[in-house]
Structure 1
Amino acid sequence: MRLVILCFWIWAASGAAAVAGSDMEALLEFGRGIRQDPSRRQAAPWNPTSSSDSDGCPVDWHGVQCNGGQILSIAFDGIGLVGNASLSALARMTMLQNLSLSGNKLEGVLPRALGSLASLQHLDLSNNRFIGSIPAELTKLSNLGHLNLSSNGFGGALPVGFRSLRKLKYLDLRGNGFVGKLDDIFAQLQSPVHVDFSCNQFSGSLASISDNSSVATTLQYLNVSHNVLSGPVFASDPTPLFDSLEVFDTSYNALTGNVPSFNFMISLKVLLLQNNKFSGSIPEALFRETSMVLTQLDLSCNQLTGPIRRVTSVNLKYLNLSSNSLQGTLPITFGSCSVVDLSRNMLSGNISVVHTWGDYVEMIDLSSNRLTGTWPGQTTQFLRLTSLRISNNLLAGELPTVLGTYPELIAIDLSLNQFHGALPKNLFTAAKLTYLNLSGNNFAGTLPLPSSETNNSTTVDLSVFPVQTSNLSFLDLSNNSFGGPLPSGIGRLSGLVLLDLCLNNFTGQIPTSITKLKHLLHIDLSSNHFDGSIPDGLPDDLVEFNVSYNNFSGPVPSSLLKFPDSSFHPGNELLVLPRSGSPNSPEGSGGRKHGMKRGILYALIACVIVFVTGIIVLLLVHWKISNWKSSEKGKGQHKNSVNQGQGAPQRRAEIPSSEIHDVSLGSSPSAEYGGISVPRGGMEGQHEAQCVDQPTGSISSLKDSSASSMPSLISSPSDVRSHHHHSILRVHSPDKLVGDLHLFDNSVLFTAEELSRAPAEMIGRSCHGTSYKATLDNGYVLTVKWLKEGFAKSKKEFSREIKKLGSVKHPSLVSLRGYYWGPKEHERIIISDYVDATSLSTYLSD
């Protein structure tokens, strides 16, 4: 009897050792495909000589759990493994319950052998580089409760058979290339709790969700954003079924119809429906103080109309209704909202109603509407306000001093309005203010910065400007009527990255204290009346510099010679550019006197020759003189009118009130300019897919980070003033132009694809776009003006105005060839013939 028992234990031990050896060999085989292991934590698993612990696992194996020598769990998450993952080797582990390899750089495909892991409960391969399709054998894992394949390169259709995965609660397939009808997929799911199908190519509708009662009753998280879904959200009103749903995200699809009320979803906290095609009015139930616990609501970028009702919900914190067609006045209350984004609508009325919004609001974006009045001066409101954006409205009056007292305010954008008067003295001393954009208004007077230097007995009151430096990083005061000298206190704004004072009336010399701004990257002082020399010692890291249309003199500092001539001219006739070789340069000054003597002699000889030649020519063309006079008289009138606009640009471009609302400013929650991160007043962009812009080289790869002012539909490609109006909007471009190209005649024919690949060279910027010289395949040269994002909302209106301009024909005007309207808001292009800047005057007089 004892002999039988002894034999039994010997047999069991040898069997267990065989099983354990099999699992270890499988893990070692998996390890042979690992090319890099930066953490070096997994060196032991690839070493078969490691000693074992009481459970049969080598003692140095991190992330591996065993039982009786068999591997139960493998968790190699986020340790930087690089290589070809041989998952078929791991399929031999019959007792494996958890396989988690997320956050590495593993490659390969899902083998059919994975279907043999009958004990597998948790499979996470997210954030790797796996490709291929999901094998049907994966649906045989009857114990699988957690499946995460997100952020890989998987594609194709999902296998039929998810119905057999009865224990599956967590399903995350986001960030792949899966296709198929979402209706069919939901029909197979049993009782999931978390489902994320976002950032794929799924089509169909969501109507089948309500037909599957098991899904509708258990689902807590549903994200199907960034797909190609269409139709209404629900076939009927099935909301009583979704009493467990907390997050519902269908953004960035093509869903239509009215927005459901969702008033029976008692657990719903986050509702994201932005960037669809919803129409009609917004249900009042979403704003009411009811049993709903909704905290985030985003309906931006749809086609919603009607007024905005009172917001009385005490739970709603984030509200984004931007980029719709909402009308009426501002609501008198916003409950407990901390973020309010109503930008790019058609709201009207006096903005002073915001003083009733309470003290919960932290971010306000009301830009690109039709609001009037001025900002209220109450001092007990907005103690938590961090971002205020009300640009591109019809606001007027003087700025109240209360703006400088908000303790948490970080960003102010009041550009493109009709404010006037002087700036409050405390605006530059706000405790946390980093972004200030007041461009495109009627402000006047001097800047309220104290002088850091004193002359004689002059006393400076520094009480209005504390000793500590300001936090300002972005300062745009362009296109106003500020005057007087630039205070030397500008040097106290030590954190400035961008300084734009162009199109004002500043006078005098630039204070040397400006060289203290060591973080400065962008500076534009053009179109003022500055004189004297350009200070030496500006940061070497400057990426933009413009002082054209001033009266500077003397040599240009060597650190600024990297900038093109357009940064200094036109204007500044006495400025010396050493590299130019012109009479103003040192190389040309030595022979100036001799040159003048020779010039006088040559001028006298030329005058005699011209006089004699003129008499001969007049005798020869006398018979044509009558026709020439009649044609030259008509041309001369137009030429005079054109030449009147060839001097320095106007101080301020007048913006018709009837057109100002076509300007569309961005409303992403944050924006970055020159390293400045600026919080925005909304949630738009929170879930946007990221795009990578290609390097400049062809029309389809052009990119400009300038902002939108009121655009002029036509301008010469050789604009004497190429002012870059700074803000935070971006002009992006697609990899290929796939929109509608409209040509006004058949004299020059080309396609949008040909225009996409045309080599491009930037020839000028203005406040409404960037002009490029583009050469077609046949050698024909065009001027392509890429307009700023948000130029026009209506294709019909844009087309009508461009066609009007294209119909204007005159010898002294550059005619338009056509225009391009792309599928996205930032794809607006005006096309005309190219005119060389050096021959513009010749062209006008021919």
Structure 2
Amino acid sequence: MEENPLRFSAHLLLPPLILLLLSELSLVRASSSSLDGDLSALLAFRALSDPAQKLASWNWSHAAPCSTWLGVSCAQGRVTRLVLEGLSLSGHDALQSLTRLDQLRVLSLKSNLLSGPIPDLSPLTALKLLFLSHNNLSGPIPPSISSLSRLYRLDVSYNNLSSSVPATLNRLSRLLTLRLDSNRLSGPILGLDLPNLQDFNVSSNMLYGAIPPSLAAFPAAAFVGNPALCGAPLAGCRDAVSKPTRPAANATAAAPVTPTANATATAAAPVPHAAAVVASSPSSKPEAAPPGERRRPTPSGMSRVAVVIIVVGDFAVLVIVSGLLFCYFWRKFAGKNRSRLQEGEKIVYSSSPYASQGGVAPGGGGGGFDPGRMVFLDDARKFELEDLLRASAEILGKGGYGTAYRAVLDDGGVVAVKRLRDVQITGKREFEHHMEALGRLRHRNLVPLRAYYCARDEKLLVYDYMPNGSLHSLLHGNRGPGRTPLDWTTRMRIAAGAARGLAFIHHASKASKLAHGNVKSTNILVDKTGNARLADFGLALLGPAAAARYSGYRAPEAPAYGRRPWSSQWADVYAFGLVLLELLTGKPVAGGSGGVINLPRWVQSVVREEWTAEVFDLELMRYKGIEEEMMGMLQIALRCTATAPDQRPRIDHVVKMIEEIRGEVSPSFESFDSVSDSPSASEDASATTAGVSSQ
């Protein structure tokens, strides 16, 4: 029988058709891991969440979707960022379609109307930043979040999430931000320990129990709105622990007694409870001791005389011990209070003979006694030494070089006085030369040194008093309700003024490179006109290196434990860069306590994760049109805080960059020539800066 040729041809064509179908299936699978697959997932999300057509730009007709689709960014042919904030996106399960974006690193859907549970996010293994706040999401925090090992920031605040805070979040060892506030979470938060956490908030939930010690360092605002939470930084847990036990005891006493219930209660209740009930009842009679138990002797067998003697003796011992303790502590308290009173009322209390004895040491006949002298550095002599020593004073603060006071003179004048300590310049003439050189530095952005007092054991510096405090207090003081934020214009003006003052110091001496030596936000003061002025300039040569005391502003090349005076202009630029970061972020620079974040490292980590907007102070978000200026200032700050000194700009270049951002162009430091250029002045400046490290 002859074979049908059609059947024969079908047999020949079947294997190629199967191979073609398999290849098409493989292409479909490959497309799910390609840009086309990512775009298909985005279109599925749009179909479920965009009834208002806010994502109209998401269209296949666009040739370059990564640059034309709203909120979409790509890298290496994959979607890596999706930022869609405040677009009124809605939909119950719209988030599920985004789990196919397996190369997504940043997902921000803040301030939308998305609802439903948070889906399984485990496919998003590359995710680093997740912001879902201000939506209508519900259900528990999914355990799959703990599998996102690269996650740095998680913000699901202001939703309707319920259930508890999962302890599996501890697996997110890189987490810097955890915002769970304003949800309906319940249960305890014990066991939560994230060592790198910097921003944490669980306020306005229904959590209860003790706050774990690992979270106690965060402010109380991170926990408020949970009435049953207790422990530092909130109220202690003693009341919260004792209260639940009282209703249980009352319930047991009030429960109806039945044979079965009574037997159960008797078996379960500890014996001391029954003893306490008997002892608390005046009319109760002592029960007979159980067989075999020895009865304790009662006081009834003791004579009244013995009882009286014992009571009187105990009372006498108590009186004697109380009297001794009272005398001991009273002497300590009185001594401390006396010295504190003198220090609060007088700037100098250890060298009062200088004022009261007219330079004669009591009982010493004046041998070897140095009365010291008051030297005024300008012609405006407004007070005498005795006036200063009699002045009532208020401590403004204690710094690395001494204690600062606000002194009110008899005529009502107010000056700022710094009482130096640990001065390593022992020669009187050397100290005087240094003070005269600093006194010649006159600039509108420097706090002028008006006078100094020099004796062997006492050295005082007198400055103009700045009534508006320091930049540190303006930035970080009272960050709570009722605070008046420091606006962007004021921050820029302070930054520009401080930079000009520092540039003047660096260029004031032609013969040597003079440095400030202790640039920080507490040394940038504000005068009555709102002008920024640098304080404590040039004091780095008087004592151990300030870098050793203030490690937060210490340049990488500075000695960590400086025993000798040290300063450099490059280190000044680095410290000024940290001040700029303070102005931009609103966060304080880390000190030696370790309780505050390392500001340059934190900023660099956020910028490296391509989420630069998270760097800036939230108080600046209310101002519109300043984004470009903030970014420009951030670039300057990062250049100033470069690790290598030769990679930092000179401070005069920093001034020019700040002025360009502010839209100001001033002559090139026209005020530099206000410092005396006489030969004697140059010589004095050279002498005072001897030993200062060069750039």
- Structure with bigger RCO (C-alpha 8 Å, 6+ apart): 2
Greater per-residue helix proportion? 2
Give the structure with the higher percent strand: 1
